[in-house]
Structure 1
Amino acid sequence: MSSQITNTPSADVLTGFYSYTDTLKGVYYGPGCVNDALPKLLATIGSTKALIVTGKSLREKTDVISRIETILKEHNAYGATLSEIGEHAPVSGIHNGVKLFNEIQADVFVAVGGGSPVDAAKAMSYFIQQQRGGSFVKQIAIPTTLSAAEYTAGVGYTNEEGQKTVLMSPFLPPAGVILDAELTITTPERLWLSSGIRALDHAVEGLYRPLLALPAKVLGYAALADLFKYLPESKANPKDLAARQKLQVAAWMSLWPIKTERPSPLGLSHALGHKLGATYGIPHGITSCLTLASVIQYKAETAPEEDKRSLAEALFYLQEPSTGTLDGDVKKLAFRIDGLVKRLGLSTSLEENKVPKADLAKIAKLALGEDQSTHPQVVELLENIYSKRGL
């Protein structure tokens, strides 16, 4: 399915290039930039044969993959396309990707789609490095959602038992990222908007994320403001390239790539989302729609004052007046998040997503890990969102 774009990019549409040291060599952004950016990144990282990693729907229902294949063929860099990566990156597709990569003697992955193809390509790189030794295989990521998986050193995939498995390495992030708003036009509305709430989840939970450098937290505030502004605009006019490009950059700001001595974990909303997603077949964007507002409301009652202050400061970026108390401001932020989810038509419940009520205590236990001191409160939080849509 080809999609006609009704508006022409103007001077206020974002376009540009950003370079980073070590693994990430460059981020290109702007409508239509893939035509020049993909060949430039191939030349920068010295790659000559690509395996495209994507999903079945993007391959069969849109012209996005054929466009990428054409660009690669024009530069004699096309190897093959693997289009069997499903939601939450099942390990069977990853193993098939490793086999195909070796068979065609490719030297780079080009992951196209949401977080699952990006994470699958990272996992393939990891397994190939384990087989061969030496360097990790490089990846160029071309996201069509707002999940922001392309900026992390972590990999989440689903193992043979249906459980989420995580790998970490500073060499796993893509070597290049291409944010081309034109390629997102065919992304289904619910996926596009809910992945935007996932980006909001990154930005909000990053405000109290341990070990995160101050500049990244400031970028989180900027991401939060843009997500609140442009997600409704994108829903109102799905072919507005300016809004879609703003949202892609907001997702980038929500999880800005930063080198740290050790990984800095995200918060409770993400932890719950990881346990809900693969096990019950819930897209990560929808898990954030389920949990984020309630987690922030919970933080108003339980978080240290420093964390509350970071969350309360978000009201300034949303041009919202303070309630006069930290607890009140954090609760107000929670209700603003809940209101955005409802405005986008994304409100849902655990019951609607077929999560058994009997599993709530187990989900809370798995999400909390070693520290089970707040287990009763987290079970109560899950009970509150079991059959209720939002706050």
Structure 2
Amino acid sequence: MNSFNVKPNIYFGQGALEILREILTEKVLIITDPFMVKSGTINRITDNITSKNISVFSDIVPDPPIELVVKGIEELSKIKPDVLIALGGGSAIDAAKAIMDFSKKILSLDHMEFIAIPTTSGTGSEVTSFSVITDKEKGVKYPLVSDDLLPDKAILDPDLVKTVPDFITADTGMDVITHALEAYVSIDATDFSDALAEKALVLSFEYLIKAYKDGSDIEAREKMHNASCLAGIAFNAASLGINHSIAHVLGGKLHVPHGRTNAILLPYVIEYNANIIGYDNKDLSRAAKKYHNIAKLIGLPANNVRMGVKNLIYGIKNLEKSMKMPVNLKEAGVDLDKLKEGREKLAEMALEDGCTKTNPRVPTKDDIIRIIERITM
């Protein structure tokens, strides 16, 4: 028996922030990063809250470390807010999730409401039971997985993403596509997660390049914001695969932005998962057939499975080229000497990552090493 549910109440579209006016409690804590404060974006939140007892914890940094979570718990324990708001990209929301979850367990703050407000269109963290925290000393990213991490409300206001730089739009947009594709071919995929993943992909291939070229295109921004959320719900239900497993270990080691690492890996992971050998279209994998279906959905030539998979890979590469994205780790500015001695260890860590178990093809350590080698060229 399978099940499917969506916990966060989702408010979306222009003006969605007005739902904050319904907050009638006394104490509010906002967890965010310094840029949200410096740019004045945080005022868009506070101006919609009637409470005058608002505190801000703005120490969030990319790839939030364990030490930051501890500091956030200490701050929350002093305030004991009625409402906790996470404002920012994946790092802010992930950190807030960890801070919220540990604080509830330690301080018994079961009454505290948790609201997530994303300011990038990529992670889908506002609707997932995942959080990624980094051990900087070991260079390892640890995924936390629990339904207790799910926010109570998610607010998707496209006005908050209009000023996102084009290169971040590219990185986060490719993260959306990776989330949706991995959820779609996951061994835990269902009709429900497939429907969400398909819609996220159709929206992304239509609107990502528009959002990249013109950040003020509010329709494109709104559609990508929605696509990110849809893909988040899809992978929260179906999980992901080795694209993310490898990206997690490479991100912890090499500090390349997560979405960019996913984008570099994606064509090679699709090719690996599809596993089309020779020119015989018999005995094709389930993943290959599903990639073929996506190629048809987004309007690529796909007269047969082989052509569909091939053109999906080309389509992704062309999209990345149009957004001036690096095609390998060298172009991403990585010192490749750091990888020479550590590939086996990285491959072992990727195999142990929680996302690997739902990949459509069971990888070996050598498979992971070969994929890593291909993205260094």
2:35 maps to which residue? Answer: 57
User: Using the alignment, how far apart are the partners of 1:174 and 1:280 within structure 2?
Assistant: 30
Two-structure CA RMSD over aligned residues (Å): 2.4
Alpha-carbon contact 1:129-1:136 (below 8 Å) kept: no
8 Å contact from structure 1 (residues 121, 139) kept in 2:
no
Partner residue, 1:342: 321
Map 1:1-391 to 2 at 5 A. Answer: 23-24=7-8, 26-34=9-17, 36-40=18-22, 42=23, 47-60=25-38, 62-72=39-49, 75-76=50-51, 78-133=53-108, 135=110, 137-146=112-121, 147-159=123-135, 161=137, 162-256=139-233, 264-301=238-275, 305-324=285-304, 326-351=305-330, 352-355=333-336, 356-358=338-340, 359-369=342-352, 374-387=364-377
Distance 2:7 2:107 in 1: 19
Number of residue equivalences: 355
- Counterpart CA distance in 2 for 1:353 and 1:335 is 24
Whether the 8 Å CA contact 1:152–1:257 is kept in 2: the answer is no
**SS at structure 2 position matched to 1:349:** coil
- Which structure 2 segments of 5+ residues have no match? 278-283
Query: Does structure 1 conserve the Cα–Cα contact (< 8 Å) formed by 2:130 and 2:149?
Result: yes
Deviation track 1:103-131 (CA, whole Å, cap 9, x = no partner) reads 12212221111111111111011211231
Per-residue deviation, 1:193: 2.1
After superposition, the Cα gap between the structure-2 partners of 1:234 and 1:291, relative to the gap in structure 1 and judged at 3 Å, is same
How far 1:33 moved relative to its partner? Answer: 2.1
| Secondary structure of 2:334 counterpart | coil
Give 2:281's aligned residue. none
Q: 1: distance between equivalents of 2:276 and 2:246? A: 17
| Post-superposition offset of 1:366 | 1.2
How many Å apart are 1:338 and its aligned residue?
1.3
Structure 1 unmatched ranges of 5 or more: 1-19
Q: Deviations over 1:274-303 (max 9, x none)?
A: 111132212111111211111112222269
Tell me, what secondary structure is at the counterpart of 1:225? helix
Q: Which amino acid aligns with 1:37?
A: I
Give the match's secondary structure for 1:27: strand
- Cα–Cα, structure 1 residues 155 and 283, in superposed 2: closer, same or farther, change >3 Å? same
Q: CA shift at 1:77, angstroms?
A: 5.5
Q: Is the 8 A contact 2:70 2:99 kept in 1?
A: yes
Q: Does structure 1 conserve the Cα–Cα contact (< 8 Å) formed by 2:243 and 2:266? A: yes
Q: Is the 8 A contact 1:125 1:136 kept in 2?
A: no
Q: Report the CA distance between 1:38 and its aligned residue.
A: 1.6
Q: Does the C-alpha gap of structure 1 residues 166 and 377 become closer, same or farther in structure 2, counting only changes over 3 Å? A: closer
- What TM-score does the superposition give when structure 2 sets the normalisation length? 0.87
Quote the offset at 1:140 in angstroms.
0.7
Matches of 1:163 and 1:254, distance apart in 2: 25
- Distance in 1 of aligned mates of 2:5 and 2:303: 42
Q: Distance in 2 between matches of 1:237 and 1:54?
A: 26
Tell me if structure 1 keeps the 8 A contact 2:180–2:200.
Answer: yes
3-state SS, counterpart of residue 171 of structure 1? helix
Q: Decide whether aligned partners of structure 1 residues 77 and 167 sit closer, same or farther in structure 2, where only a CA change above 3 A counts.
A: farther
Q: Following the alignment from structure 2 to structure 1, what is the Cα–Cα distance between the partners of residues 339 and 136?
A: 25
Structure 1 counterpart of 2:177, which letter?
L
- Quote how far apart the aligned CAs of 1:184 are: 0.9
SS in 2 for 1:202: helix
Q: 1:27 to 1:77 in 2, by over 3 A?
A: farther
Residues 258, 166 of structure 1: alpha-carbon distance in 2 compared, 3 angstrom cutoff: closer
Matches of 2:102 and 2:167, distance apart in 1: 33
